Amino acid sequence: MRTEPVKSVGFLLVLLAGTVLVTSCSLNQIAINAVANVLSGDGGSSTFTTDDDPELVGASLPFALKMYETLLEQTPDHEGLLLATGTGFISYANAFVATPASMLSYEQWEKQQADQIRAKKLYIRGRDYLIHALHVRYPGFTDALESTEPDAVEQLQLILDEMDTDDVPYLYWIGAGWVAAFSLDAFDLELAFTVTKAHALVLRALELDEAYSDGAIHDFLVQYYASLPPSMGGDKEKAEFHHQRALELADGRLAGPYVSYAESIVLPRQASVEMGEDLNAYAAGIQAVADEFVALMEQALAVDPDAYPDARLVNILTQRKARWYLEHLDEFFLLDFDTEGDAF
């Protein structure tokens, strides 16, 4: 049940005041837990996700995240607050650090690199809060996840088998943060050697609730299977399957599946267009890939953000990226092609 924002804010202020006034340690802990419950409830998150002003949300989230961390110092095992903090850091890193960095010009290369390093740290920070949350729920989870012993995989699987649908958000967001961090630094050997563990967690989430968050798990797996080489588990056929399922579950309400597919599957296809002696055929092949890419971006832009308030913010942000792609199409496709000579 969603909490009304105005009531949440009023109640929160009363509770925060209470933490200052009480002197008993037990009462103070009760007050802190009550604040944590309010902040980690559905009402708190929907205040952000239903907003139509990305700049306002982007400016507000750092303060909210530091407030969460302050509370976690007093109540470090609060599962709901750990979930809110972990997902908050990962969401902030993606929406307001990594994605804007990916859209910077070549002249801003140094800033892009700095922002990507920052985003990687934020992804890992969020992931680690969520790992701790599952450790609270399942003692031994962290040890099994981090172990390099021969039986580590078996031990981790035993714990995963105990989990239920309540654990799906933790599993999904751990995997999302883990893989996102790796995508920004493929030369990080620790991430490279452990990314398969992130995959295992996401697959368990898929088994428990494939429809979670309107198909978010399937959309994640599109990008996972499409971006990795076969030696690391990449599989284009699986990516295609998960894209179709993501579309079915989103039911036209989300722009994300169109952009994810365009980025992960369609854009790389131009590399498979053979450049033979017939330059006209090559140019036509590149144009066909570009046309499909554009069509997907236009489908993303056709989604009405107000038709599905729960995903209003993410749709607005995704559509912003789709527009950017359309405005910078010539940076991704060699469209001005001289079929009498060379590309120009």
For the segment 80-106, what is each residue's pLDDT rounded down to a tens digit? 999 999 999 999 999 999 999 999 999
pLDDT of residue 338: 58
Confidence of residue 15 (pLDDT cuts 50, 70, 90): very low
Is residue 291 included in any domain, yes or no? yes
Q: Which residues touch 331 (CB under 8 Å, ≥6 apart)?
A: none
Separation between Cα atoms, residue 194 and residue 152, nearest integer Å: 12
Q: Where on the phi/psi map is residue 251: left (φ > 0), alpha (ψ -120 to 50), or beta?
A: left
Amino acid at 256: G
Distances in Å between the Cα of 16 and the Cα atoms of 31, 50, 71, 81 are 8, 25, 11, 16
CA atoms within 13 A of residue 240's CA, in its CB half-sphere: 4
Dihedral angle, C-alpha 246, 247, 250, 251, nearest 10 °: -150
Q: For residue 179, which of 134, 118, 220 has the smallest C-alpha distance?
A: 220
Helices (H) and strands (E) in the chain, counts: 16, 0
Its domain, for residue 7, covers 1-74
Point out the domain boundary residue: 50, 74, 98.
Answer: 74
DSSP secondary structure string for all residues of 9-59: HHHHHHHHHHHHH---HHHHHHHHHHHHHHHHSHHHHHHHHT-S-HHHHHH
Q: For residue 317, which of 167, 122, 25, 92 has the smallest C-alpha distance?
A: 92
Kind and range of the H or E run holding 110: helix 109-137
Is residue 190 included in any domain, yes or no? no
pLDDT of residue 280: 87
Q: Which residues touch 332 (CB under 8 Å, ≥6 apart)?
A: 267, 293, 325
Q: For residue 224, which of 267, 190, 271, 260 has the smallest C-alpha distance?
A: 260
Amino acid at 36: A
Point out the domain boundary residue: 24, 43, 74.
Answer: 74
Bridge partners of residue 343, in order along the sequence? 337
pLDDT higher than threshold 70 for residue 8: no
pLDDT tens digit sequence for 183-214: 999 999 999 999 999 999 999 999 999 999 99
Point out the domain boundary residue: 74, 109, 124.
Answer: 74
pLDDT tens digit sequence for 42-56: 545 678 899 999 999
Q: Lowest mean pLDDT: which of 1-5, 37-41, 116-120, 185-189?
A: 1-5
First to last CA, the chain: 58
Can you read off the two tokens belonging to residue 324?
């950017």
Task: Give the mean pLDDT of the chain.
Answer: 88
Bridge partners of residue 337, in order along the sequence? 343
Separation between Cα atoms, residue 134 and residue 152, nearest integer Å: 17
Confidence of residue 22 (pLDDT cuts 50, 70, 90): very low
343: helix, coil or strand? strand
Q: Which residues touch 87 (CB under 8 Å, ≥6 apart)?
A: 45, 126, 130, 169, 173
Q: In the chain, how many domains are there?
A: 2
Separation between Cα atoms, residue 216 and residue 222, nearest integer Å: 10
